[in-house]
């Protein structure tokens, strides 16, 4: 069944720590301290300790060598090993059962909620098989209920903490990659997307069109109507840029001040049509003193005009200045890379 591992590095380290600690523990407590036990039992525990050591080393040094489903199976295997060792040592005490905490915490931290609760059920069954074998019935039932409830509550707490952390991380990532005023992407996030889009375009993927937008006479808007109106004008521009690309793969970014950029997946003709849609959408904006702002637009397309993100930015910037020099409020696209 498909599954998602939250953190490959963290999971591999968690498994490595367990195996590297469990190997000597089992060797000492299960073999060296039980030398009078039957040879077959000692051999089984010794082989288990050696296997734990090997797996721990692999998880530490080369986790990528292990199959993907190993990380899903490891809590079930660990629960089985704990149960087997408890049977081998005939230990139904609370201390021995606490080793079940590792597969529980691992699954709750790195795997899905469903898998975590399934692991909890396996642990409960393993614990029951041991405690009902080696403890009096009443005591066994009490211990089993107490341990099962404790395991379920622990899993629930860890799972919900993970969910809360995921939500907070998503908020922080959004804040780190977006402009607070307009909701558009910021320059850092946009530059990363632009480099990847140009790389794919040069390798034969969809063309990457860079559309640069500058609000005409933005300073006069602030001076005449105030910065509050200027902020509303910027939000109107961002909204128009997003609306114009509703049917096209695009990313809108505010590069700073009154400068915006849009990354489109398409050729020169599609980029030019997008620019005119954005201009028409912005022109229909109501409620701003002095009417909607005008914009100048410059377009460059990879691989038509450039084969690197930096070159494409220079081409689109040159087109933008060409639009401004031509009287502003217009769209320009250079035909040759500069």
> Can you list the domains of the chain with their CATH numbers?
8-176 (no CATH), 187-333 (3.30.70.270)
Q: Give the pTM.
A: 0.57
Q: Whole-angstrom Cα distance, residue 111 to residue 63?
A: 17
What is the pLDDT of the chain when averaged over all its residues?
Answer: 89
Q: End-to-end CA distance of the chain, in Å?
A: 52
Residue 102 has pLDDT above 50, yes or no: yes
Q: What is the arithmetic mean of pLDDT over 147-161?
A: 92
Residue 65, Cβ neighbours under 10 Å: how many?
Answer: 9
Half-sphere exposure of 335 (CA within 13 A, CB side): 0
| Cα–Cα dist 150/236, whole Å | 54
Given 143, 179, 214, 258, which residue is catalytic?
A: 258
Confidence of residue 337 (pLDDT cuts 50, 70, 90): very low
254 close to 238: Cβ distance less than 8 angstroms: yes
CB atoms within 10 A of CB 10: 13
CA distance 253 to 129: 60
pLDDT of residue 327: 87
Instruction: Tell me the average pLDDT across 140-149.
Output: 92
| pLDDT, average across residues 254-268 | 93
The Cα angle at residue 27 between residues 22 and 29, in degrees rounded to 5: 90
Number of Cβ within a 10 Å radius of residue 191: 17
**Alpha-carbon separation of residue 21 from 16, 65, 94, 209, 275 (angstroms):** 8, 21, 19, 55, 62
pLDDT at 175: 66
Known catalytic residue at 223: no
Burial of 330 (0-12, 13-18, 19+ CB in 10 A): middle
pLDDT band at 44 (very low <50, low <70, confident <90, very high): confident
The residue-averaged pLDDT of 270-293 equals 92
- What is the mean predicted confidence (pLDDT) over 88-106? 85
| % of the chain at pLDDT higher than 90 | 57
pLDDT band at 163 (very low <50, low <70, confident <90, very high): confident
Q: What per-residue string of b and e applies to 27-50 under the rule 16 or more CB within 10 Å gives b?
A: bebbbeeeeeeeeeebebbeebbe
pLDDT at 336 over 60: no
Reply yes or no on whether the pLDDT at 88 is more than 90: no
> Which two tokens mark 281?
């959408």
Q: What is the pLDDT of residues 174-229, one digit of tens each?
A: 667 688 899 899 988 899 999 999 999 999 889 999 999 999 999 999 999 999 99
Q: Where are the beta strands (DSSP E) in the chain?
A: 208-215, 250-256, 259-265, 295-302, 331-333
pLDDT band for 322, please (50, 70, 90 cuts): very high
CA distance 307 to 314: 12
DSSP state of 254: E
Distance CA 113, CA 99 (A): 21
Q: What pLDDT is attached to residue 301?
A: 94
For residue 294, the Cα-to-chain-centroid distance in whole angstroms is: 38
Residue 101 in this model has a pLDDT that exceeds 80: yes
Query: Which of the four pLDDT bands, split at 50, 70 and 90, describes residue 338?
Result: very low
Lowest-confidence region among 27-36, 57-66, 185-194: 27-36
């Amino acid at each position: 069944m498909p599954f998602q591992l939250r953190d490959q590095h963290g999971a591999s380290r968690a498994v490595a720590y367990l195996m590297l600690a469990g190997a000597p523990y089992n060797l000492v407590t299960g073999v060296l301290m039980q030398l009078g036990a039957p040879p077959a039992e000692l051999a089984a525990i010794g082989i288990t300790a050696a296997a734990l050591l090997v797996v721990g080393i692999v998880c530490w040094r080369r986790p990528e060598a292990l199959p993907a489903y190993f990380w899903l199976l490891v809590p079930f295997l660990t629960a089985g090993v704990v149960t087997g060792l408890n049977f081998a040592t005939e230990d139904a005490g609370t201390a021995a059962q606490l080793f079940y905490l590792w597969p529980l915490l691992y699954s709750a931290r790195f795997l899905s909620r469903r898998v975590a609760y399934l692991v909890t059920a396996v642990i409960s069954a393993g614990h029951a098989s041991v405690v009902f074998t080696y403890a009096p019935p009443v005591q066994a039932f009490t211990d089993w209920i107490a341990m099962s409830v404790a395991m379920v509550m622990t899993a629930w707490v860890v799972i919900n903490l993970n969910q809360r952390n995921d939500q907070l991380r998503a908020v922080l990532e959004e804040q780190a990659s977006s402009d607070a005023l307009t909701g558009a992407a910021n320059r850092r996030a946009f530059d990363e997307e632009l480099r990847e889009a140009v790389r794919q375009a040069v390798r034969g993927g969809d063309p990457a069109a860079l559309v640069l937008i500058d609000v005409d006479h933005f300073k006069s808007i602030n001076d005449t109507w105030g910065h509050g109106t200027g902020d509303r004008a910027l939000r109107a521009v961002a909204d128009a840029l997003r609306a114009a690309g509703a049917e096209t793969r695009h990313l809108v970014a505010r590069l700073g001040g009154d400068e915006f950029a849009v990354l489109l997946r398409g050729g020169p003709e599609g980029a030019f049509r997008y620019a005119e849609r954005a201009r028409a959408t912005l022109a229909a904006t109501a409620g701003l003193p002095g009417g909607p702002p005008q914009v100048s637009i410059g377009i460059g397309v990879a691989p038509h005009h450039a084969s690197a993100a930096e070159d494409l930015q220079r081409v689109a910037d040159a087109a933008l200045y060409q639009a401004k020099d031509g009287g502003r409020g217009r769209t320009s696209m250079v035909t040759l890379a500069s």
